[in-house]
Amino acid sequence: MAGNLKTLNAKPLSGRRIAITRARSQAGAFARALGALGGEVVEFPTIEILPPESYDPLDQVIQKIKNYHWIIFTSVNGVNFFFARFKELRRDIRELKGIKIAAIGPETAKALGAAGLRADLVPQEFRAEAILQGLKPEEARGKRILLPRVARARDILPKTLREWGAEVDVIETYRTVVARSDARRLQEMLRQKKIDMITFTSSSTVANFAALFPAEDIEGLLSGAAVACIGPITQKTAEELGIRVDVVSRDYTIPGLTRAIVEYFGMQSEK
């Protein structure tokens, strides 16, 4: 009876060791959510988020911010770094009056709210293509659109907007670099099958993970661990690098990924 009660009271991720590859500065909420569900978290950040190498391009667009009709934010980081610099330049948030703002994902919209703004467009699907479904070509034609984002992002959004006749300024607002992590420690844990799952929350986390093990057979290294990705774009990057993906969240957010992980291990327990 005692054993049965222990099983009934077990948390859904009890006994599961899960590696997080998010930047250390942003891993807290995810780690707490997994821990609250019984998971043992191993933080292995593969990316570090930094300001742009030069603020000059960003400063120039902030100085002429009133010239834009739309600002499209694709991530929380884009919002945070943009408005941190906006404040450093002693600009007034009221200068954005009349400019329409789009945000990809509820977390990005929430970050805008913290900055004192409300997004005019938040597509239901949390990726760049969804913005294009929310904006009509005739709404973009002849408009000046600012896209503050990470260096080396996907080109589909600015490319399509330009094809629609918009004038688009893509500005590096922040950058990501490969984090200095204890690769040997994780490598040994993976080889010894001591990691049950590794999670990737962006294409950068996947690419940097692979970069940390350039001479390694990635498929073999991950043979004992399930792989979870936050959405189809991250999944595509992983698969292109030869990484098998077991879990893809339908909701491209940390809560959505957490739910998908719980569902996956729940199904594994029933087998």
pLDDT of residue 4: 45
Q: Give the containing element (helix H, strand E) for 29.
A: helix 28-36
Residues 147 and 24: their CA atoms lie apart, in Å, by 26
Give the chain's residues under pLDDT 50: 1-6
pLDDT of residue 2: 37
pLDDT of residue 271: 59
Residues 22 and 26: their CA atoms lie apart, in Å, by 6
Q: What's 230's DSSP letter?
A: S
Domains of the chain (ranges; CATH) run 8-46+179-270 (3.40.50.10090), 50-176 (3.40.50.10090)
Contact status, residue 216 vs residue 247, Cβ threshold 8 Å: no
Which residue, among 149, 208, 195, 146, has the nearest Cα to 173 in the 3D structure? 149
Q: What's 21's DSSP letter?
A: -
Pull the structure tokens for residue 31: 């780690």
